[in-house]
Amino acid sequence: MKYKLKKISGDASFREFYRLGKNNKTSIIVSAKKEKFKNLIVYAVVNKILNINKVNAPKLLSNHYINNMIEISDLGEKSFYDYVISKKNKLNDYKSLVKLIIKVQKIKVKKSYKLGKFKVKFLKYSLNYLHKESDLFFDWYLKYCLRKKKISKIKRLLRKELTKIYKKLKFSNNTFVHRDFHVSNIMLKKKKLGLIDSQDAIIGNPLYDLASLIDDVRIKLPSNLQNNLIHFYHKNSKLKKICIENLKNDFDILSVQRNLKILGIFVRLSKRDGKNNYLKFLPYTWVLLERRLKNPIFKNLNILMNKNLPIKKLRKLNKI
């Protein structure tokens, strides 16, 4: 039996990926020495939940946790990003992804799951968890832009206002959330969609994954297309009887929260992990932020940011 092992491009996690070829078939070896439990066990469990609910995801083929790796099925080499990036009319393609989000949101999660001797429980988004994520903006992004003394004051002021904003979320944390749902985490093989990178799944707000997809920093979508997709979700999801204004309220809040987090994560990936390619997305992340900050709900946050941050400098910053 002949084996071929080839390292393939990774992601923002601590994992490494290898394509294993044997007898004209391929599988993926996922290796992780850091955050092993999340990157291997939780990933395998979430993938199993997705597959049970007829959402295509990698299947666990063999578990070598003691050796820091698992083997999973291969969903191919072509991501939805590769497929859609050069297309002029993206609406119908993105509608298929919104339908996938709606399908994922129908999943009913149990209190806990087992994989061998391991037990996996799903966390639920809370006010503290939202802050933990958006704090990355202050702790990493601003750390490389401003003096430390000034950052402490800005963080205190803006965090207080963000608390008020997060408390204005309309919908409960009762929905299965992939938490990193975007075109690069969706594979396309023989016209079949497959969802990867699911180890951060959580129970949260139904608008989170939609904001992740539509306000994705990796691919620039015009505002009219974004709005069409929000309305398409509204008409076809479990929230169709809820007024669109409430849906848009949560979408904008979670988009701002997520993109503040992303600014911090991408700088952390550069400074801590040496993954500098993520810095190129910083300018467009600011574009998305400012697009959502136009919502009147952010009036006081805008005042505080304009008063205490060098916005023009930060907006143009793509090398830190």
Query: Tens digit of pLDDT for each residue in 255-300?
Result: 999 999 999 999 999 999 888 999 999 999 999 999 999 999 999 9
Give yes or no for a contact between 258 and 212, defined as CB atoms under 8 angstroms apart.
yes
Residue 290 · residue 316 · CB < 8 Å: no
Q: Which is more confidently placed, 5 or 141?
A: 141
How far, in Å, are 89, 228, 252, 269, 275 from residue 280 at the CA level? 25, 27, 23, 12, 11
Q: Which residues of 73-95 are buried (b: 16+ CB within 10 A; e: fewer)?
A: bbbeeebbbeebeeeeebeeebe
pLDDT digits (tens, 9 = 90+) for 175-222: 999 999 999 999 999 989 999 999 999 999 999 999 999 999 999 999
- Work out the percent of the chain whose per-residue pLDDT is above 70: 96
Mean pLDDT of 15-19: 92
- As a whole number of angstroms, the distance between CA 216 and CA 4 comes to 35
Q: Tell me the average pLDDT across 135-153.
A: 88
Q: Is 195 helix (H, G, I), strand (E, B) or coil?
A: strand
- Segment 225-239 mean pLDDT: 97
- Domains of the chain (ranges; CATH) run 3-73 (3.30.200), 80-316 (3.90.1200.10)
Neighbour tally for 235: CB within 10 Å: 10
Share the mean pLDDT of the chain.
Answer: 93
20-46 pLDDT, tens per residue?
Answer: 998 889 999 999 988 999 999 999 999
List CB contacts of 70: < 8 A, sequence separation 6 or more: 29, 30, 40, 43, 44, 60, 62, 63, 64
Tokens representing residue 40 in the block: 């291997």
